[in-house]
Structure 1
């Protein structure tokens, strides 16, 4: 039995970790020995199950014990437990790999997607049932190089509602918005080129641009969108080829670009002769659509990207790119050269979901839930001394600065050990500079467990 001292300066979690390690090193717990369940040990030593779960997660991460689904925790083989494994750096690789792979991170407080029960599962199931009855040819053939013609025609209509005139032949379907960003990057950027991006901005895009050899310059994000004065200065100082930006419900700040700022961005793009890539994956979450860069520009200098993953299902890897005819032709060729056509099955499923009678109701409920969650999360963070950069009326994300005294990297690592995925600010800055800001996902962060844990960390 472990002996814990609640009055000691050492946290109870660390006492449990040290006690288990000592028993393994002394041979009291042999290789393969089964440890008490989380609830059982918690009752035995008089602590909360959350404290034991955090300790077990740390022991698993260090290689002392292993977890088996539905069986519990066991002492790991000595060859892996002899020395604690070095902690993996908390960086963009950690974000891209562990957040997607680690099922132990149960509370995705900084995640980039909605919880499963917020998504359009009923619509996905209905669409797949409908596809199961389709002719065999649809289920076995390659698709059209630009994507399913019927879906592109539907998108032409949907984009027109946002003021974007994009004939079907000027739309190419992509494997999610991520492929659209990759196509735009490969079309416009050569190694060594200067590229402007939102700062903070989309972490996956930053990683892709750096891997491509681009020279990144961050345009500070304000509550009204990208800072026009900073954009003008950077465009004048560097021979910029492209500006990647998100206009609506920006990731990670939750801000939206106003019409006035959008006009200034387009004037600067014309003056300094650079292209604008408008990534708009959250358009369906905007209750009252505002003018987009693409609608103001007429797709002459702007490449517009969209997706269905954020509102229907991340498993539905269907997005789209709309641009001038020459750009779409080149994008289609690049798409074919790297992956041939898209999945006509998934494209047909997306079309079926968009056309059913319940999709609009799903979006209405989703917008309402997100708006309510944003208000609660902003309030809870403020109560704990966090400074919220902007209070979004909806959407997934908000950007908040931790109280002084909390180290961002240590807080992120401690959260991961406790099964909580946080997203520290430096992931979203082009230079990876230190930041006390974090991205929060309102749908996941609307959970009392997060605030209890944050309060505990502040107390320590």
Structure 2
């Protein structure tokens, strides 16, 4: 007889699935073992056959069980011990690169203390509001949930995005908005359409590591633009433009990842002037717009999408698992990108887009964003104070956004500090991951939402 969780928030189906997960992870159900049939399990535990069917379906979907025709259900071969050994080996002599970031730092279970991750804590998100939206969508949806979506994405959501962009002084009809499967998908579409092997591309350095990996993979000449506390270093940018002819400049001017800086109005205007003079496009990655408490104009508002291409996302504030983003751009470019999107993978997820739309029109979301801003402000102040007390030196003094870019005074290469941290089950994000050329640097990125462990600051102070 199974001993099920007493958690009232979980369905009986989930409790059954969770117990099988426990039996498998504890080794009580070994690889290849047959589990009770659906009918047998239902009878012996006094539950309905349909409940067991749903539970077994979940276990098959997550890879725990394997169905065999006319034979029943069997535990999948996980080779659990060797997996654990691989995890242990990964900590010894770890190679900190973009692949490491994908395989380690982005896994929620990869460390007890994870200040190097790139997302908000789940407890800060409005999970109850999301659950309510999901229930309402399934109960009251007027359209089909099983059909393909429109090539450009769910029209009501594009209208809503158009309204939101208008509030940021980007006057853009829904026809100029293309829905994507997150910001990374948006950047991928733009790279495929705009950039060819051998093109010169400017990027923030430090900047978004996965963008660098994507651009390098297609063989571009990648040039890093240094940053100051007010955005791109304009003197350095002018010098680089005297040497290179970039096709585009990918930049993250608001609450920058990883430094946390924001571009000043004067810097923004100068970047646009240089773009016109030297004839290059600007791809503005503005995924943190919704968590910015300050009133700041996006670059795209200064030229109304003539030369600037705007990328947004809802993953930061609603749910990372939804993967809903968008591109706002000149109408001709949007038409081309819509065709490319269909050719590469058909439509984006209309279910996800409907969920986002319902969340946005729900009156609670504005309140949630306000509360989120207050949490971030408090976390920034606390993290900066504790990092300073631990001896860390910070890149800028503006307590805004999700990240703090800081260095330890005793380490010229943050990889060495990150390697020592692994021994304490602390995953840091060493700065070279965010450099376009992966150059050695003393800087590290800290996520203030995960800087709540005394063990982290004790380690930094003693290092």
TM-score clears 0.5: yes
2:377 to 371, 374, 377: 371
**Is 1:333 the equivalent of 2:339?**
yes
1:208 to 205, 209, 214: 214
Give the 3-state SS of the residue equivalent to 2:458 in structure 1.
helix
Q: Which residue of 2 aligns with 1:36?
A: none
Gap change, CA 1:84 and 1:128, over 3 Å in 2: closer
Give the superposed CA RMSD. 2.0
Instruction: Tell me how far apart the structure 2 counterparts of residues 134 and 202 of structure 1 sit (CA, whole Å).
Output: 39
In the alignment, structure 1 segments of 5+ residues that lack a partner are 1-31, 33-74
Contact 1:285 1:394 in 2 (8 A): no
1:305-324 alignment runs, 5 A limit: 305-324=311-330
**Is 1:108 the equivalent of 2:114?**
yes
Q: Deviations over 1:409-459 (max 9, x none)?
A: 232123234322210110011110000100011111133221022223x2x
**Is 1:343 the equivalent of 2:349?**
yes
Q: Which residue of 1 aligns with 2:292?
A: 286
Q: Which residue of 2 aligns with 1:295?
A: 301
Instruction: Tell me how far apart the structure 2 counterparts of residues 88 and 401 of structure 1 sit (CA, whole Å).
Output: 20
Gap change, CA 1:152 and 1:404, over 3 Å in 2: same
TM-fit CA distance, 1:107? 2.0
Instruction: Tell me how far apart the structure 2 counterparts of residues 294 and 84 of structure 1 sit (CA, whole Å).
Output: 46
Contact 1:391 1:398 in 2 (8 A): no
**Is 1:393 the equivalent of 2:399?**
yes
1:117 to 110, 117, 123: 123
Gap change, CA 1:84 and 1:306, over 3 Å in 2: closer
Q: Deviations over 1:43-87 (max 9, x none)?
A: xxxxxxxxxxxxxxxxxxxxxxxxxxxxxxxx968xx79x96763
Gap change, CA 1:89 and 1:160, over 3 Å in 2: same
Q: Which residue of 2 aligns with 1:244?
A: 250
Instruction: Tell me how far apart the structure 1 counterparts of residues 267 and 231 of structure 2 sit (CA, whole Å).
Output: 7
Instruction: Tell me how far apart the structure 1 counterparts of residues 364 and 411 of structure 2 sit (CA, whole Å).
Output: 48
Instruction: Tell me how far apart the structure 2 counterparts of residues 278 and 187 of structure 1 sit (CA, whole Å).
Output: 16
**Is 1:447 the equivalent of 2:453?**
yes
Contact 1:110 1:445 in 2 (8 A): no
**Is 1:141 the equivalent of 2:142?**
no
Q: Deviations over 1:345-401 (max 9, x none)?
A: 100000000111111111111111111111111111111221100123321011011
Instruction: Tell me how far apart the structure 2 counterparts of residues 360 and 293 of structure 1 sit (CA, whole Å).
Output: 24
1:63-142 alignment runs, 5 A limit: 87-101=93-107, 103-135=109-141, 137-142=143-148
Instruction: Tell me how far apart the structure 2 counterparts of residues 405 and 298 of structure 1 sit (CA, whole Å).
Output: 44
Instruction: Tell me how far apart the structure 1 counterparts of residues 378 and 107 of structure 2 sit (CA, whole Å).
Output: 29
Give the 3-state SS of the residue equivalent to 1:173 in structure 2.
strand
TM-score (norm 2): 0.79
Q: Which residue of 2 aligns with 1:423?
A: 429
Instruction: Tell me how far apart the structure 1 counterparts of residues 401 and 129 of structure 2 sit (CA, whole Å).
Output: 21
Q: Which residue of 1 aligns with 2:189?
A: 183
Give the 3-state SS of the residue equivalent to 1:217 in structure 2.
strand
TM-fit CA distance, 1:316? 1.4
1:410 to 402, 410, 416: 416
More off after superposition, 388-397 vs 170-179: 388-397
Instruction: Tell me how far apart the structure 2 counterparts of residues 405 and 245 of structure 1 sit (CA, whole Å).
Output: 28
Q: For this pair of structures, how many residues does the alignment match? A: 381
TM-fit CA distance, 1:134? 3.9
Contact 2:200 2:220 in 1 (8 A): yes
Instruction: Tell me how far apart the structure 2 counterparts of residues 367 and 334 of structure 1 sit (CA, whole Å).
Output: 36
TM-fit CA distance, 1:304? 0.1
Q: Which residue of 2 aligns with 1:235?
A: 241
Contact 1:367 1:394 in 2 (8 A): no
**Is 1:272 the equivalent of 2:287?**
no
Give the 3-state SS of the residue equivalent to 1:413 in structure 2.
helix
Contact 2:94 2:419 in 1 (8 A): no
TM-fit CA distance, 1:407? 4.7
TM-fit CA distance, 1:231? 1.4
Instruction: Tell me how far apart the structure 2 counterparts of residues 185 and 405 of structure 1 sit (CA, whole Å).
Output: 36
In the alignment, structure 2 segments of 5+ residues that lack a partner are 1-26, 28-79
Give the 3-state SS of the residue equivalent to 2:145 in structure 1.
helix
Gap change, CA 1:262 and 1:141, over 3 Å in 2: same
Instruction: Tell me how far apart the structure 1 counterparts of residues 311 and 140 of structure 2 sit (CA, whole Å).
Output: 29
Contact 2:386 2:457 in 1 (8 A): yes
Instruction: Tell me how far apart the structure 1 counterparts of residues 288 and 329 of structure 2 sit (CA, whole Å).
Output: 19
Q: Deviations over 1:174-218 (max 9, x none)?
A: 101111111111121111111101111111111111112111111
